[in-house]
Amino acid sequence: MSVEGTWRLTVSTPIGRIEAVVELRERDGVLTGVAHGTGEEVPLDDITVDGDRLTWRQAVTKPLRLNLAFDVTVDGDTLRGVSRAGRLPSSKVTGERRPGLEYQA
């Protein structure tokens, strides 16, 4: 199953909902990605696909400086799962793949 594409995510955090766009691309057999949101662009690290499970890590500085770990299940053009920031409670993540969507700041 391919997870490539542009995904519009909603993360429901204790401080409110955060909208983000995640772009995943495969190049030379390696999956790479970048996340856009809250005024910054950050690379995705440790991207792993295992069946329908997709995980990655990213560091953000807005609205707070956090190291996030995402663990989602992909079903076609939708995904659902959680994001964790250290010992903070997990946040619900939902998203959908948006063909032709390009991030615009």
Residue-by-residue DSSP string for 41-82: EEE-EEEEEETTEEEEEEEE-SSS-EEEEEEEEEETTEEEEE
pLDDT for res 86: 85
Average pLDDT over residues 83-94: 93
Rounded Cα distance between 79 and 71, Å, is 10
- How is domain 5-97 classified at the CATH fold level? Lipocalin (2.40.128)
Q: Give residue-wise pLDDT tens across range 17-71.
A: 999 999 999 989 899 999 998 789 999 999 999 999 999 999 988 877 889 999 9
**CA pseudo-torsion sign 23, 56, 92, 37:** negative
Structural domain boundaries of the chain? 5-97
Pairing of strands 45-50, 40-43: unpaired
Average pLDDT over residues 6-13: 94
Q: Which residue has the tokens 């959680």?
A: 82
Q: Is the pLDDT of residue 80 over 80?
A: yes
Q: Of 40, 56, 49, 59, give the one whose Cα is nearest residue 93.
A: 56
